[in-house]
Structure 1
Amino acid sequence: MNHVVYGLCAVLPVIVDVIVNLPDETEAILKGISTDRIIDVRRLLSVNFDTCHITNYSLSHEVRGSQLKDTVDVSALKPCLLTLTEEDYNEGTAVAHIRRLLDIVACTTCFGPSPEKSESVKSSQVKGGGKNSKHSETSPPPSPASKDAVIDDAGETSHSFPKLGSFYEFFSLAHLTPPLQYIRLVTKRDTEDISAEDHLLSIDVKLCNGKLVHIEGCRKGFYSIGKQRIICHSLVDLLRQISRAFDNAYSDLLKAFSERNKFGNLPYGFRANTWLIPPTAAQSPAAFPPLPVEDERWGGDGGGQGRDGTYDLVPWSNEFAFIASMPCKTAEERQVRDRKVFLLHNLFVDVATFRAIKAVQKVMTEPVLAQEDSDVLYSETTGDLSVTVTRDTSNASSKVDTKIDGIQATGLDKKKLMERNLLKGLTADENTAAHDVATLGTISLKYCGYIAVVKIEKESEELSPPSQIVDLLEQPEGGANALNINSLRFLLHKSSSEQNKKTPHQQDDELTSSREFVSKMVEESIVKLEEEDIDRESIMRWELGACWIQHLQDQKNTEKDKKQNSEKSKNELKVEGLGKPLKSLNSSKKKTDVSSPKTTQTAVSSQVDGVSSETDNSAATASLQSDAEKNAQENVLVLKNLLSDAAFTRLKESDTGLHHKSLQELVDLAQNYYTEVAIPKLVADFGSLELSPVDGRTLTDFMHTRGLRMRSLGYVVKLSDKLSHVQSLCVHEMIVRALKHILQAVISAIATDTDNIAIKVAAALNMMLGIPENTAAPPQNTWNLQGSTEVCHSPWIMP
């Protein structure tokens, strides 16, 4: 939940009604919260089914004036009554308006059958929903007598597991008639009613009833030519006026949206999913039609900032260093600082990602670079940023640690790295992330068998005022247009277009050789894994140190509480008024013994010997104490040299005594904590439901935030013998990660042969995922990513 911090107290947001007067003299009542801004009001308008088609407008307020900035707080608008004013278009905003309409109607054509099962097949055949698509067909239910998983015609597992293809059914309204069949951008037409200066574009729209209408886009809106000459600011309003068929179909669509969710809440732009592709792409994989939001023909893209290289020369080093130097003593100061870090780091990640992809693509298109024997295939430096491209490992049994805590592991002493991470964790506070410019200024990206590392090389010598890029650059559309990594992936079907022209015999031979290639690579990797002596203690996450010191402090506080309780119980045994324990009083009576002179002499001699022995022991103890104190002082000096004054002070004031330990002692103790405390505590929290992982992502997050490595999943499984759901999830994650390493190794081994990359990937997927025994033999073009599961339909290489 969003909240705003004022002083030391958090003010929770409350629901606010935002009333927006529309140009047609109606009003839209939006449900916002008190912490919303104008940018949030715009998003509410975009997902409301009455106003979702409206773009290119400004909002005004009777007190705050016209053209309110996106950063204005809703809480400052009293009364919370806004007026929507239509603004003139330019060519870019006019195209964006058309793209929005295409996005709204996409749910009727792009996502296969809708939840209306009884009408899905009929509508897909009659209304252009893709009758040849496997996604538009429904399969008969499995026999009730069968308890095994059944693979249907679309290659999806049913009965035992949910269908992966049903993901898009949630968004689909394919049982409805699409309001329009297509919109095409055509050559500009000359018209007497619109001046050349105002004319922006010309489009043809084919409506649901097959009627083709010609429309001109101008600065004031959209103009229909022909018998009905009407101009409207909104294309939807224009089409509703000139076509009753469109009006009825669009009204049915809005009604379906409202029935699905009475508050409207349309998706804020359909984008390609991470693991599944839209059914329309499966129908024509070679063309792979993008969803409207990401369609470049209509000004769409995969989101993010810096695609055109605008921010390549930003003084990144100075920007990060300046933000790290901002005041951070109070919660308010840290909140301001952290937001700037967040915005700047997001911008850096976008820019660095585009730079990394571009560098790898250069290596892929220039065979000379890809075939070099040196580890670094390509490197470049632009401004503060350096890009280095190396080849990923083709050994599925190993993992290249390309980035650990902001430092490239290649050529780095892992012991030093482990010590650095441990000290970082032991001295961490609420400013650690913002101050660690090395981590913030580095990204590592795997793409098509290569590894690209982008980092800030130049160190800021003297801080200068920042360029205000963070203040001027809020997230586009409030963050809704964030980078979608799918838009940067390598499309396999494009690289395999020539393979489709080969004869079935040639395809079969290539598939056989690809299977042999993958099998051989896996066998070699297994042999290397058995021979390799892996140093499993060579890596340590810095979060482990932070959790360890918190554990020690909690343990010390618990012991302190126990000691206080024990002392309190002892005091209760005292006899009031005497001030001594009762037992002491009973044994305080002196005893007088009459001893002979001989006995006395023997006792004296024994006492003398005892004093001599105690003197020797005291000397030895003093010597040991002196050595220990000397070692402790040396350890303190070592840590002082490695840490800043503030960091060392935090470690010393933690009251754990760790500042007296040597680096090796700290490492050994941390590793003992890892095995004996951290992992058992994680499993205990799983059992108590304090933590409840639901998938691999949440499981990974829970482990990483505690400094635990994913290679410890086997130990987690061993300790979770009474938690079957945790064991199942861990085993599933281990299998998936093993398959990921195999697939990445296959891609790396054939990175220079992009023409055959599709068939090799398909062979690897078929080998790993298997072909169901209860289905007929796969067709000859199985290599064309039409495998046994929905994952095989995906034409993406995972970066």
Structure 2
Amino acid sequence: MKKVAQVGNALKQLEEYGRNDPKTNPGERLLGRMDLTGSYSEKNKGRNQRAFMAPKASKAKPHKAKGEKKKKEEKALPTIVDITVEKPDLARLTLKGISTDRILDVRKLLAVHVETCHLTNYSLSHEVRGPRLKDSVEIVTLKPCHVTLVAEDYTEELAIAHIRRLLDIVACTTAFGPPSSKNAGGSANSASNSSKAVLQSRNGVAKDGEPFPREVSDSSPKPQGGSSKFVSLGATAAGAPCTNQKEELAIYPLPKLGQFYDFFSFSHLTPPLQYIRRSSRPFAEDKEANDLFKIDVRVCNGKLVTVVACRKGFYPAGKGVIVSHSLVGLLQQISRAFDGAYKSLMKAFIEHNKFGNLPYGFRANTWVVPPIATDSPSVFSLLPTEDETWGGNGGGQGRDGKHDHRNWGREFSIIAGMPCKTAEERQIRDRKAFLLHSLFVDIAVLKAVGAILNLFYNRVLLHDELTDPNAVLHKEQIGELNIVVKKDVAVASIKLDIKLDGSLAHGMSSKELAPRNLLKGITADESVTIHDTATLGLVVVRYCGFTAVVKVPIERRTTASQDYNIEDQPEGGSNALNVNSLRMLLHNSTAQEFSVSPQSQCFEDDNLQTSRYLVRKLLELSCSKLEEECVLQRKSIRWELGACWVQHLQNQSSGKTEPKESEESKVDPTIKGLGKQLKEIKKKTVDRTGKIEMNQERSTEANKSQLLHNGSQEEKEMMLRKLLPEEAFLRLKESNTGLHAKSPEELIEMAHKYYEDSALPKLVADFGSLELSPVDGRTLTDFMHTRGLQMCSLGRVIELADKLPHVQSLCMHEMVVRAFKHLLQAVIAAVTGIDNLSASIASCLNILLGSLPSENVDPSLALEDYLKHKWLESFLCKRFGWRWQVESWKELRKFSILRGLCHKVGLELAPRDYDMDSPHPFRKSDIISIVPVYKHVACSSADGRTLLESSKTSLDKGKLEDAVNYGTKALSKLVAVCGPYHRMTAGAYSLLAVVLYHTGDFNQATIYQQKALDINERELGLDHPDTMKSYGDLAVFYYRLQHTELALKYVNRALYLLHFTCGPSHPNTAATYINVAMMEEGLGNVHVALRYLHEALKCNQRLLGSDHIQTAASYHAIAIALSLMEAYSLSVQHEQTTLRILKAKLGAEDLRTQDAAAWLEYFESKVQEQQEAARNGTPKPDA
């Protein structure tokens, strides 16, 4: 029994160390937690010091300290609240809410519950608070926490929204399945044409085909098969992303882009509906006063039903007696087939995830379009959420035109002048600023896109306008919005200045911009964004080969009270503008639909050849232009650099970092000690005549020099006083950095020195310690920009990161993406009509990402390949200061480059398994559309971000009570400023989930993380780094709740997306392998788990080094897994390596080192037990 208890304890400890810190990669074991996506602001630290708990009785209670604090923590912790909802049929539901929830959150919970997800038009009442509770009512104020769902009357708009909800719910059976066979590129696994049914709302009837057989490398295992059996060593998927040879034998089969939407697809089920459309049958004389409109509904068995929508609900035409408040309820009454199909779908939803995260409400917001859109690219069948036929839209505000003539400049100045001394004042001010700025950005983007499209379709450009980058093609004034449109130049070597702090945007020279940005940075406070109204009122939009700059006039700051009002956002900030909804479709006629006829194929080949010639000419021109350029030393400065510089100097003065000795400190005698001072005094007493006089003369000269110095210092202070507002100057002076006494020229010189000597090395050091772990170009760019670092320094980062191959790889990929972006933008700018745009883009992508055949190479292909490499080498040298090696091409992950290109240029592609090993991986029909790419300053809550950082810091130090307090306050602040369901609030939900996870409240952590995932999927995109992170975090939370098969499903989704972003050779991928291993262990598949752990170990050794603490974590994880197989001698070997690394890196006193020593002692005791049993011939203790 003792042996059983010990093994059970070991298993428990294995689970504990396996979940030591899910803050960024929740299952990462042991020591330094690994970030899955690099998405928590810019700081991703957090190490659980108690990660190595050995299973011995005397040392197996590491959480005693946490238990002793429990009473204090309970005061700060949000708690789970059971919310009872009584439906109109008197049935009751119990929802799991949180004490911070409001009625709006209850509505969201009802929307993701299978029994109520189809309901839309209702109010909630309370026996004490009365009927129609407002969305802002807090549920903790409801005593008892029991509400009643009351059906409300429909208007025409509300009835249309109700129908849209039903279409949205059933869309997963048709929209995300494989495309029709004619579009699948000859794939053997193409499914039927069922994806044309519900969404198109036309006459096309879905076929009831067989369930689609998923391939073994599917990223989402079926609910009934939880052991992840598709994983096999050495397996590679056909058509998998092109990658380097070292990664070909990875344990996880390389994923297929064509399976991107399989995770959300229920195409194996019968769609409950074939279509819903407005009925063409007019009302007869039987129309009632409450009738609104008619719809025709064809259910799954082909039966056509005409339904009347009225104020009380829905009823079959001619049968007004049967009225149901919901359309689902009516169809269930009158159609047994619909009832069965709908219940099967709800059952599948529960099997997919019984906690929620229902697969509806999605928007086409990802560079890979839903499969339904590829069936008819000239139409682009919209998902219901965005389908205007049923009242949907692309989100955002300002489409109605009522804000066109708003006094933007005055309103921005009023907000900038609002009181902001206290946190409460700033919260009120920040909320108003956020609402106004969000509205401004939406309208600016819509108006800029409209102006560009008007130019694109209706004006023939002259030669000078096409070649002059400064030629203004269009000026427009809409109210106070000033819109200026220019044509992009069709030369890939010309870099346009489209930065928010650039010369083009502000109308200032680069020489004037550098001191402006630096002074803004070194005087920055919580209001820096809002007080800079010039940047706040600025949006830059690139679209279809044009660039539009939208600005509002700058007005003098106006002192205003807090009575200034602005309209609130609907739905808690959800459904923000999806810029992809402003797409330009590149296939405008049915003749351009996918076709496999020889004639059409021949025509497309000719079209592509013509386009390749255009790309080839652009490459030749760009190469010659680049060769004429000299390497320019960039002197621009981002304002964030100044803010980080001040923080760096303050940390030095407070002793948080080891400052280098300055020259002044070297000559200061008080620093040297009393010995030298006494020696000098003795010298003076020996010879008081000449030497003292000489010293007096020197002293006089020094005083004169000091007076001159003081005079020049005063002049410099006066110079800065003239350039800065008085309040900003005093703030700089009180920062105790001495920067207030420097001239602008000196400040710029010092800032550049800080940039090179401190900022860049610190960034690389954070990469090495895994405090920062970017997974793609977007997170890498964010990390650098928040520190004021410019992307032209990527070459220097590669040099500094010589021991971090994954960082070098990310930098290399980002440089290539940025280089290719210029060429692709030049190609788009060179094409004058929409008819040739898709062919030109496909040809450009083929040249950039295609591969030469191994033999019989066509001379034109060889020439294009030569020009590509020549141009790339020259571009990287001139722009990034990096010498490109042709051999590096083999190391590139082409799908990662494709993804980055689509984000930066604004492309939407078909979800197809592109063969990157061929010279022509892309067809004209693969390029579905172009979407706008825009830039604007982020406006949220600086106080909220500070609280998030404080919560993370407290979590790092193991101060869970403080972490909960800060995290709860941060969430409250961001909810108050941005709204509970805005994309900026999702990060706060995610962080608080991690903090609560550490307190042991897995249920509440899961609720928060599900909120974050729901927001990220719909607002940020299905492969956004934050979305990836939510999948990984949620997987570990589910595992902790003992839903291992569900956890495997979500962790494999995270792993699938990671392979498309950072690839298998990345610490985050290795960390996710450890998560998978942990879950496989939970299912009893220890051998499978060991293979994942060995893969993670090899990855960490290769990327971080054999002596990194993350490598120690891998050794420890393997030791635990081996112990479950009773291979204790091998466990000892691995734990010895763990202990050796930790002693060298952390010291013997560190808690993690002590825990490793305790584990080693435990394993050694087990080895002794086995040896004793073998000598005595006695059975095993647990036999």
The CA RMSD over aligned residues, in Å, is 4.1
Of residues 122-131 and 718-727 in structure 1, the stretch that sits farther from structure 2 once superposed is 122-131
Contact 1:286–1:493 under 8 Å retained in 2: yes
Letter in 2 for 1:402: I
Which of 791, 810, 824 aligns to 1:729? It is: 810
Quote the offset at 1:408 in angstroms: 3.3
Letter in 2 for 1:174: S
Gaps of 5+ in 1: 3-8, 115-119, 564-579, 594-602, 779-783
Change beyond 3 A, Cα 1:285–1:139: farther
| Secondary structure in structure 1 of the residue aligned to 2:362 | coil
**Residue of structure 1 equivalent to 2:397:** 305
User: In 1, Cα distance between the equivalents of 2:123 and 2:679?
Assistant: 92
Contact 1:315–1:384 under 8 Å retained in 2: yes
**Residue of structure 2 equivalent to 1:163:** 256
Deviation by residue 1:292-326 (Cα, 9 ceiling, x = unmatched): 11112111111111112121122222222222222
Change beyond 3 A, Cα 1:124–1:29: farther
Of residues 274-283 and 399-408 in structure 1, the stretch that sits farther from structure 2 once superposed is 399-408
User: In 2, Cα distance between the equivalents of 1:319 and 1:453?
Assistant: 20
**Residue of structure 2 equivalent to 1:761:** 841
Which of 387, 390, 394 aligns to 1:295? It is: 387
**Residue of structure 1 equivalent to 2:220:** none
| Secondary structure in structure 1 of the residue aligned to 2:261 | helix
Change beyond 3 A, Cα 1:301–1:791: farther
Change beyond 3 A, Cα 1:302–1:689: same
Letter in 2 for 1:14: T
More helix by share: 2
Write the mapping of 1:275-674 to structure 2, written as runs, cut at 5 A: 275-368=367-460, 373=465, 375-405=471-501, 408-409=504-505, 411-457=507-553, 459=555, 470=566, 473-494=567-588, 505-558=602-655, 608=690, 610=691, 614=695, 617-618=698-699, 620-674=701-755
**Residue of structure 1 equivalent to 2:1060:** none
**Residue of structure 1 equivalent to 2:345:** 253
Write the mapping of 1:17-416 to structure 2, written as runs, cut at 5 A: 17-112=82-177, 124=192, 150-151=238-239, 161-191=254-284, 194-195=287-288, 197-225=289-317, 230-267=322-359, 269-368=361-460, 373=465, 375-405=471-501, 408-409=504-505, 411-416=507-512
Quote the offset at 1:281 in angstroms: 1.3
Quote the offset at 1:446 in angstroms: 0.4
| Secondary structure in structure 2 of the residue aligned to 1:494 | coil
TM-score in terms of structure 1 length: 0.85
Quote the offset at 1:34 in angstroms: 2.4
Deviation by residue 1:332-391 (Cα, 9 ceiling, x = unmatched): 222222222222211111111111111111111221567773711111112221111111
**Residue of structure 1 equivalent to 2:875:** none
Letter in 1 for 2:769: S
Contact 1:553–1:654 under 8 Å retained in 2: yes
Quote the offset at 1:239 in angstroms: 0.5
User: In 2, Cα distance between the equivalents of 1:93 and 1:591?
Assistant: 96
Change beyond 3 A, Cα 1:336–1:79: farther
Letter in 1 for 2:850: G
Deviation by residue 1:513-543 (Cα, 9 ceiling, x = unmatched): 2111112212322332232235343321100
**Residue of structure 2 equivalent to 1:117:** none
User: In 2, Cα distance between the equivalents of 1:486 and 1:590?
Assistant: 81
Of residues 244-253 and 141-150 in structure 1, the stretch that sits farther from structure 2 once superposed is 141-150
Change beyond 3 A, Cα 1:506–1:635: same
Quote the offset at 1:231 in angstroms: 1.4
User: In 2, Cα distance between the equivalents of 1:396 and 1:548?
Assistant: 35
Letter in 1 for 2:534: A
User: In 1, Cα distance between the equivalents of 2:524 and 2:589?
Assistant: 48
Letter in 2 for 1:393: V
Deviation by residue 1:567-590 (Cα, 9 ceiling, x = unmatched): xxxxxxxxxxxxx99999999999
Change beyond 3 A, Cα 1:642–1:562: closer
RCO (CA 8 Å, sep 6+): is it higher in 1 or 2?
A: 2
User: In 1, Cα distance between the equivalents of 2:927 and 2:76?
Assistant: 46
Contact 1:185–1:202 under 8 Å retained in 2: yes
Letter in 1 for 2:275: Y
| Secondary structure in structure 2 of the residue aligned to 1:707 | coil
**Residue of structure 2 equivalent to 1:576:** none
Quote the offset at 1:708 in angstroms: 0.7
Quote the offset at 1:791 in angstroms: 8.2
**Residue of structure 2 equivalent to 1:596:** none
Of residues 720-729 and 789-798 in structure 1, the stretch that sits farther from structure 2 once superposed is 789-798
Question: Given the alignment of the two structures, is residue 707 of structure 1 paired with residue 788 of structure 2, yes or no?
Answer: yes
Question: Given the alignment of the two structures, is residue 738 of structure 1 paired with residue 819 of structure 2, yes or no?
Answer: yes
**Residue of structure 2 equivalent to 1:16:** 81
User: In 2, Cα distance between the equivalents of 1:64 and 1:325?
Assistant: 39
User: In 1, Cα distance between the equivalents of 2:856 and 2:396?
Assistant: 45
User: In 2, Cα distance between the equivalents of 1:652 and 1:456?
Assistant: 32
Quote the offset at 1:80 in angstroms: 2.1
Of residues 663-672 and 763-772 in structure 1, the stretch that sits farther from structure 2 once superposed is 763-772
Contact 2:174–2:196 under 8 Å retained in 1: yes
Question: Given the alignment of the two structures, is residue 796 of structure 1 paired with residue 929 of structure 2, yes or no?
Answer: yes
Letter in 1 for 2:156: E
Of residues 633-642 and 38-47 in structure 1, the stretch that sits farther from structure 2 once superposed is 38-47
Structure showing greater radius of gyration is: 1
Letter in 2 for 1:435: H
Letter in 2 for 1:182: Y
Contact 1:181–1:206 under 8 Å retained in 2: yes
| Secondary structure in structure 1 of the residue aligned to 2:838 | helix
Change beyond 3 A, Cα 1:672–1:234: same
| Secondary structure in structure 2 of the residue aligned to 1:558 | coil
Contact 1:48–1:265 under 8 Å retained in 2: no
Letter in 2 for 1:710: M
Quote the offset at 1:498 in angstroms: 6.3
Change beyond 3 A, Cα 1:705–1:416: same
User: In 2, Cα distance between the equivalents of 1:176 and 1:94?
Assistant: 27
User: In 2, Cα distance between the equivalents of 1:709 and 1:643?
Assistant: 25
| Secondary structure in structure 1 of the residue aligned to 2:929 | coil
Question: Given the alignment of the two structures, is residue 698 of structure 1 paired with residue 769 of structure 2, yes or no?
Answer: no
Deviation by residue 1:93-131 (Cα, 9 ceiling, x = unmatched): 1111111101100111110159xxxxx969747897989
**Residue of structure 2 equivalent to 1:597:** none
Quote the offset at 1:452 in angstroms: 0.9
User: In 1, Cα distance between the equivalents of 2:294 and 2:139?
Assistant: 38
Letter in 2 for 1:388: V
Quote the offset at 1:193 in angstroms: 5.1
Quote the offset at 1:221 in angstroms: 0.9
User: In 2, Cα distance between the equivalents of 1:560 and 1:499?
Assistant: 63
Gaps of 5+ in 2: 1-22, 24-39, 41-73, 180-187, 198-205, 218-229, 661-672, 859-908, 933-1183
Contact 1:38–1:69 under 8 Å retained in 2: yes
Of residues 374-383 and 623-632 in structure 1, the stretch that sits farther from structure 2 once superposed is 623-632
Of residues 656-665 and 522-531 in structure 1, the stretch that sits farther from structure 2 once superposed is 522-531
| Secondary structure in structure 1 of the residue aligned to 2:298 | strand
Contact 1:124–1:175 under 8 Å retained in 2: no
Change beyond 3 A, Cα 1:444–1:11: farther
Deviation by residue 1:149-172 (Cα, 9 ceiling, x = unmatched): 7427999x9976322232211111
Quote the offset at 1:661 in angstroms: 0.9
TM-score in terms of structure 2 length: 0.58
